[in-house]
């Protein structure tokens, strides 16, 4: 990442923070470092909400998360109830967002992964995976629109169907679909506001896209 953050080759990255079973492990030092921050100032910068309980409410797509720094846990609102978050990748992403966020505004510059400073990372096994999205939505644009809007996507006026997602308050992902027909194959592009590289190392960007795509694909109609 950048001079102040976690570098793309850092052992802190999600692709390298795994236990013996291959599952993502959230470093305890992330919680320790978060406890050192002023919660009110952090919420102001991160565009999150400080609850009377001292927990931080953060929006992830269309869901609310409650981050309890003191107890080192995150809860997710599911069917009206707050339940422990059983998703190490989402937990890791949320903690890194809160740790790395700055007061800088969005850059208002839409770029692909090839334009990011760590563009070399997004090759081979780390190429942004769009095949599953194409298989599910490439010839069913209405299903893509329904799934995108279900998880809080906002229409974006480019391509046959474009949506912008906000997995965190100051992070924007753009999913653009060109529908296939008898003459042309469908095409998917995933773009970013350039400010994403101010908060996330390349492997975190990759993990975030993977997670958001998974949420999209899990929508059933």
Token digits of residue 92: 């890791």
Q: Flag whether 71 is in a domain.
A: no
Domain count of the fold of the chain: 1
Task: Note whether residue 137 is domain-resident.
Answer: yes
> Do the domain assignments include residue 201?
yes
Q: Is the dihedral of CA 124, 126, 131, 132 positive or negative?
A: positive
How far is 207 from 176, CA to CA, in rounded Å?
19
d(CA 146, CA 135): 16
Q: Is the pTM of this model over 0.75?
A: yes
| 135, burial (CB in 10 Å: exposed 0-12, middle 13-18, buried 19+) | exposed
Residue 2 located in a structural domain: no
pLDDT in tens, 12-46: 455 445 543 357 788 999 999 999 999 999 999 99
For 141, the domain range is: 110-217
Q: Which residues in the chain show pLDDT less than 70?
A: 1-22, 221
SS3 24: strand
In the three-class reduction of DSSP (H, G, I as helix; E, B as strand; rest coil), residue 17 is classed as: coil
Give 106's DSSP letter: P
- CATH number, domain at 178? 3.30.310
Q: What pLDDT shows up at residue 14? A: 53
Q: What angle do CA 45, 50, 56 make, to 5 degrees?
A: 85
């Amino acid at each position: 990442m950048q001079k102040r953050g976690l570098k793309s080759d850092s052992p802190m990255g999600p692709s390298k923070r795994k236990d013996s079973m291959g599952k993502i492990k959230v470093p305890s030092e992330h919680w320790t470092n978060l406890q050192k921050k002023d919660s009110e100032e952090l919420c102001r910068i991160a565009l999150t909400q400080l609850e009377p309980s001292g927990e931080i409410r953060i929006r992830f797509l269309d869901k609310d998360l409650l981050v309890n720094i003191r107890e080192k846990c995150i809860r997710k609102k599911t069917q009206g109830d707050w339940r422990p978050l059983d998703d190490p990748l989402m937990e890791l992403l949320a903690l890194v967002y809160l740790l790395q966020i700055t007061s800088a505004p969005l850059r208002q510059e839409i770029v692909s992964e090839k334009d990011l400073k760590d563009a070399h990372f997004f090759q081979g096994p780390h190429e942004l995976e769009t095949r599953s999205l194409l298989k599910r939505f490439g010839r069913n644009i209405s299903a893509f629109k329904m799934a995108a809007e279900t998880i809080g996507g906002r229409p974006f006026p480019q391509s046959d169907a474009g949506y912008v997602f906000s997995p965190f308050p100051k992070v924007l992902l753009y999913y653009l679909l060109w529908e296939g027909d008898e003459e042309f194959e469908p095409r998917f592009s995933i773009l970013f506001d350039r400010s994403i590289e101010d908060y996330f190392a390349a492997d975190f960007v990759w993990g975030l896209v993977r997670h958001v795509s998974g949420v999209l694909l899990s929508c059933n109609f």
